[in-house]
Amino acid sequence: MHARTAFAVALAAGLSWSFAAGAQEALRIGVILPYSGPFADAANQLDAGIKLYMQQNGDEVAGRKIEIIRKDTGGPAPDVAKRLAQELVVRDNVDIIAGFALTPEALGAADVADQAKKFMVVMNAATSIVTEKSPYIVRTSVTIPQLNYSFGKWAAEKGGVKQAYTLVADYGPGHDAEKAFAKGFTEAGGEIVGADNTPVANPDFSAFVQRVKDANPEAVYIFIPGGGQPAAIGKALAERGLTPPDTKVFGQGELTHPEALESMAENARGIVTTFHYTLERDDPLNNAFVAAYREANGGRSPDLFSIGGYDGMHLIYEALKKTEGDATGEALVEASKGMAWDSPRGPISIDPETRDIVQTVYIREVQEVDGTLQNVIIDQIDNVKDPLHGAN
């Protein structure tokens, strides 16, 4: 029997167990994340956001006790994510699947959500197409074009530059970021004077940065994975004199993560980035969230993964309240459409047309505050939709 057919048969048998089994039946959420492997830290930060929300809001909603079943992909592993999603639906009788730190794993599981008509909450994976893969998917994180298209326009209109060079990691998210930034930048009258791709794993940035220097742009836009790369590229830029204010350095928020700022030290000063969550945003809701998160996680600060998990659970809880505990995919998706709330990151909502998140895009500059370098919000763009679908 073909694997897809076998799944459909098993699914049909499994679906005979339904909401009709009783409103007091425990509600099961299958969380699929790379708890081991190179993205384990991202998974654990996202999971810590899930745990904190449940700690603050209890483990019962609309008369149903919430149970979390965690599955490790060891990823990125789309095939494993798909298999685990099938197991969760057929063997574990989950009502909802959630998590998905990585786009390939979200895409791997999307087909299962579609066939099984299960509500699927994407709490991080940031490629635009994810929500198009099933009408049962809702995203509570961000899309890369959402940040960078807005940022490109801002750089040309308010950032004081008309020429930029793009230097991005040679993989899907890097290409998405480059395209979106360049589109926004050129539409607002800017010119891209050079473009280059760096290897994803352990690159030596010196040759790439030398090419930037030779092109002599007003600004360089950078997109790289986190880890040790921000410090390495910061050093390479500083060695060649490509630092603010002489050369503006723009990038997505990973470039100046708190850990990256620590390792970059003075090389980070003046870098301008875009992000949807800023740890230091001085707002009562965010301050309370950061304090509670640190207390629950041994002093560790929340990040983009943490907020995606936290808001993902908020969406699930509020949708269940609206459906009075009905966890069918159709009911939960309908309850999610148009939902709006105040998050620690700021006001957010779910676009009823695309089931994708609408949120504030922040522009931050690395400045010294009380003797420490940190990301300081210098501007914001409100109610931003993903520009590749649903944007005006």
What are 145-181's pLDDT values in tens digits?
A: 999 999 999 999 999 999 999 999 998 889 999 999 9
Under CATH, what is the fold of the domain 3-142+285-355? Rossmann fold (3.40.50)
Closest listed residue to residue 102, CA positions, set 79, 127, 121, 82: 127
What CATH code would you report for 145-275+361-384? 3.40.50.2300
**C-alpha dist (Å) from residue 381 to 146, 149, 171, 358, 378:** 11, 11, 27, 11, 11
More confidently predicted of 13 and 389: 389
CA 113 – CA 82 distance, rounded (Å): 10
Which pLDDT score is estimated for 259?
82
CA 127 – CA 121 distance, rounded (Å): 14
CA 131 – CA 195 distance, rounded (Å): 29
Q: Is the per-residue pLDDT at 1 higher than 60?
A: no
CA 48 – CA 54 distance, rounded (Å): 10
Is residue 256 within 8 A of residue 273, CB to CB? The reply is: yes
164 DSSP β-pair partners: 192, 219
Which pLDDT score is estimated for 176?
92
250-255-256-261 Cα dihedral, nearest 10 degrees: -120
CA 352 – CA 107 distance, rounded (Å): 21
List where CATH 3.40.50.2300 sits in the chain. 3-142+285-355, 145-275+361-384
- pLDDT tens track for 48-64: 999 999 999 999 999 99
What is the model's pTM? 0.91
CA 354 – CA 62 distance, rounded (Å): 27
CA terminus-to-terminus distance, the chain? 46
Q: Is the per-residue pLDDT at 11 higher than 70?
A: no
